[in-house]
A and B are shown apart, each in its own frame.
Chain A
Amino acid sequence: MPAAAGLAAAPAPRRRARRSIGDALTAGGFLLPNLVLSGVFLVLPLILTVVISFQKLDSLGPAQWLGVNNFLDLFRDPTFYETLWNTVVFTVCTVPLGMAVGLGIALLLNTVMPLRTLWRAVIFVPLVLSSVSVGLLGAWMFDQYNGFVNKFLAVLGIDGPDWQSNGTWAMVSVILMTLWQRIGLDMIIYLAGLQGVDPAVLEAAEVDGASSWRRFRSIVFPLLGPSTFFLLIMNLLFSFQVFDTVYAMTAGGPNFSTTTLVVYAYQQGFSDHGPGQLGYAAAIGVVIFAVSLLLTAGQWRLSTTRDEVG
């Protein structure tokens, strides 16, 4: 009965093909809005930024093609290297410290602790504030003559540092305010990760005689790998692109000591009373993008735990 069997089996592939087309249309329908939004608001601006970085362009136009001259000028500009260094210092200080403190707090709040919901909310609240508000708040708190921090230190008999006129202390104050705002995110992501750790595994290790530190080092921390990977990428990007907190708090001063790459790009391209060189600012933006891409790609290659848990 091969012919009859063939007749009976014939509709099945057609149904599969129809279902397959239907699935593709459904998937396309779901994907389209995201693709359109990503294309319009991410890919297109990115391409335009790269194009503008090869032009001489101010806010009134028209554009003039420069080739790579903006990049040549940038690599000869000593202020660019100073701002790049400031950005690296800011990133190196905020990312590991913020994640370590966030992890510590998450471990604390993951235990049976009185009022832990309240503490969780208190630590998380700064994250929902706008970064400009945090910067303004920081400017008031670290005002070296009338600010809360130095007044408080004076009560303790300590002569407070020059938070605003000394470059190093100004950077410290910006880092502290950033940490205050960002630790909430680190804490909440780690807390979610900790709640995914199987208590049975920890109990088994305890029965085997593993100390608390050993349990954390050999079981908990490795299982938090996906959380660490996510936070590392996000924090690196946040830190490398910091602008609003710094600009509202120190305006990049004193001198250029807190001027980060994005603040420098803003001053060169977008400040109403600046030189308005959008092409040069775009070149700085391309450098920021390239560095961010390299950092992310490097971390992606080095991380062995990124895919284990979503």
Chain B
Amino acid sequence: MTLTRRQFLGAAAGTAALAGLSACSDVHSGGGGAASSTDLPSVSQSAAGSGSAGSTASAGAKASPTAKLSGTVSFAFWGGSTGETAGFTYAKKKFEAANPGTTIEFQVSPYDGFFSGIDRGIQTGKAPDTFRVDYTTIAKYSSRGLLLDMSPYFTTAETQAFLPALWDAVKSNGVPYGVPHQTDTTCIVYDTKAFETAGITSVPDRLEDAWTWEEFADVAAKLRKTLPAAKFPFAYDWTKAGAFRWLSWLYQAGGTLLTPDLKKAAIPSDAATKALDFTKSFFTNKWVPSTGTIKTSQYSDNFFLSQTVPMSFVGDFLVPEIADPKAGYKGDWAATFMPRDKAAAADLGGNAIVARKDSSNPDLAAAWLKFLVQEDAMRYFCEQAIELPTLQSLASAELKYAFRPDVVSVCAKQATTISDTIVKESTVPAFSSINTVLGDQLELAFHDQSTEQTLAALAAAVDKALTS
């Protein structure tokens, strides 16, 4: 074979470039399915770094500011809910009236792409001073040291006013990087007539009496018998980014996703096997629509509203949609609690409000956050948006919800089953990556991948996500 000068030079340049590139690094992105045991830095290291940096301020030192507040801070949240917008607008007016010379500037954008926008803003130095963030995403920002340490702005007594699990949800290494604004969780809604038809006469109305898994299976089996082939007993809210809600079954079975130090996967385990086998049986028994998996364009409330299922697991924030007189559910419906096995458990839903560490007006930003979680503002917001409060005083109070307070009351009681373990595991910095692999593997499991293979793949992927 003859080699021309051009071919030789091209090959030599290509080889040199490849060798140079490959010699540059042994670090990996952590994307896709390839393993990356040498990834740095670890989650715990980066979190510890930011935590120690943020914990230097003394607790409560600025809890009662003496200097007059002035200026403008921006506040970003996602739009779409009339109730939420009304709640934030109410707080803004009250805050500006109580602090003349201050302005809260709203920045409203759609939920899809909201965090990409925040991230771009942080990269370009144009991020809002304060923004809304869900509990499962907050660690992404706090672990990078981007958020304002709120401990100087709250006295110990003020922090104790929150439900402990939700105050913990905004903390990283003991430092609060935001305020828990509201929570939501999953409960069951059902068609009362369909239950009567199936002979289901007893539905739990107390959390302590929630169905066991066996009782829930009986209910599903009874409904299955009375429904035509194209209708199904229930749907579950694990669609797309809701994949993490599968973990409620794991926690109910007495298992955990991570080890107590949050550094490794705690699966495979007997509890994980039991939870996965049980949830896979939903499909084999035709208790849920075969399209009601993770990667689908239909959510559990869509199945309920289209009357494909007479029972559905839904978040309380969907109550306004289901109760809507025009487009809502056509028929009588009520709510009950999620089933329990060794324990009762529910997913950590809801959102915190955080402020940027490098905000030009951190004291005003902190004051706005603090105002949002005062009793009056939180009560109004929750009543309008049909969401659950995070203050203990409101959690035990009767709120005047605009829609179906009886249903919201069930969800509020269900929210008390969000344990410390659930909060800790749901707020690790790698949770978004874990949620993605959870969705991928559950989707495969619900389409015949074995339980053993699923849990092994899940454990490897979770370990990889935690070290990336």
Contact = CB atoms under 8 A, between A and B. Distances in A.
A275 B297 contact: no
A271 interface: yes
Interface stretch (B5-13, B32-40, B394-402): B32-40
A64 B25 contact: yes
Interface range on chain B (Cβ under 8 Å from partner): 35 or more
Interface string B105-117: 0000000111110
Given A67-B23, A146-B308, A254-B293, A273 B241 contact: yes
Contact of A77 (B24, B34, B435): B34
A238 to B, nearest CB: 22
A268 B25 contact: no
Contacts of A76: 33-34
A65 B435 contact: no
Nearest to A69: B28
B293 A69 contact: no
A49 interface: no
B435 to A, nearest CB: 6
B30 A275 contact: yes
B376 to A, nearest CB: 32
Residue among B32, B294, B297, B444 with max Cβ neighbours from chain A (10 Å): B32
Interface stretch (B118-126, B267-275, B345-353): B118-126
A251 B299 CA distance: 12
Contacts of A69: 22, 25-29
Interface in B286-327: 289-291, 293-298, 306, 308
Contacts of A54: 21, 24
A139 B122 CA distance: 36
Given A248-B297, A276-B432, A281 B291 contact: no
Contacts of B25: 64-67, 69
B230 interface: yes
B345 to A, nearest CB: 21
Contacts of A250: 295-297
A68 interface: yes
B140 interface: yes
A275 B115 CA distance: 13
A57 B26 CA distance: 15
B18 interface: yes
Nearest to B433: A275
A68 B18 contact: yes
B296 A251 contact: yes
Contacts of A292: none
Nearest to A76: B34
A300 interface: no
B119 A59 contact: yes
B436 A275 contact: yes
A119 B353 CA distance: 55
B291 A59 contact: no
A146 B115 CA distance: 34
B134 to A, nearest CB: 9
Interface in B169-221: none
A239 interface: no
A13 to B, nearest CB: 40
Contacts of A165: 289-291, 293, 447
Nearest to A139: B297
B240 A251 contact: yes
B149 interface: no
Contacts of A280: 29-32
A66 B28 contact: yes
Contact of B114 (A79, A270, A272): A272
Contact of B295 (A73, A251, A269, A270): A251
A249 interface: yes
Contact of B21 (A68, A139, A252, A269): A68
B436 A272 contact: no
A267 B436 contact: yes
B120 A59 contact: yes
A244 interface: no
Contact of B24 (A66, A268, A271): A66
A272 B113 contact: yes
A145 interface: yes
B297 A61 contact: no
A306 interface: no
B122 A60 contact: yes
A128 B230 CA distance: 35
A80 B31 CA distance: 11
A250 B114 CA distance: 22
B31 A60 contact: no
Given A69-B28, A73-B34, A255 B140 contact: no
A253 interface: yes
A70 B39 CA distance: 13
Interface in A251-290: 251-256, 267-277, 279-281, 283
A273 B241 CA distance: 6
A60 B121 CA distance: 9
14 contacts: A59-B116, A70-B28, A73-B34, A79-B33, A139-B297, A164-B290, A165-B293, A250-B295, A251-B296, A253-B293, A269-B31, A270-B116, A275-B433, A281-B31
Given A251-B296, A275-B31, A275-B432, 10 more contacts: A56-B28, A60-B122, A64-B27, A73-B36, A77-B34, A146-B306, A165-B291, A254-B443, A270-B116, A274-B436
Interface of A: 54, 56-57, 59-61, 64-70, 72-74, 76-80, 136, 139, 143-146, 162, 164-165, 167, 248-256, 267-277, 279-281, 283
Shortest beta-carbon contacts, A-B, top 6: A253-B295, A280-B31, A277-B31, A77-B32, A67-B24, A165-B290
